[in-house]
Structure 1
Amino acid sequence: MTNLTLIAAAHQHKRIRRFMPGDTELSAVSQPQLVALAHHLNSLSGHIDY
């Protein structure tokens, strides 16, 4: 893996953990739940209004 891939993976993990508690065992989350979360995350602009 390249450094950019590792950075992207770490960023995605951080985004997922904003919606799932840190003690959630991700292997216990169903594929449809992960897909729904991915769709939700992809729909976000990444821009935060204050």
Structure 2
Amino acid sequence: MGALVWLLIPLLAAIGAGVWGSWATRTRRVRGDGPELDGYARFRAAMEKPHSRT
């Protein structure tokens, strides 16, 4: 019975590796560059504003 327990350890590790591998290579939804470009446009607008010193 103890030998079966030791044989289950590599089997469970292989199943866990398969689950992790399928999760890691899943197809992800592509966002595009829209949010990144919007943030960059806000950054440029802020940098182009004249600064007032008091």
TM-score by length of 1: 0.37
Higher relative contact order (CA 8 A, sep 6+): 1
TM-score by length of 2: 0.34
More helix by share: 2
Flag the structure with larger Rg: 2
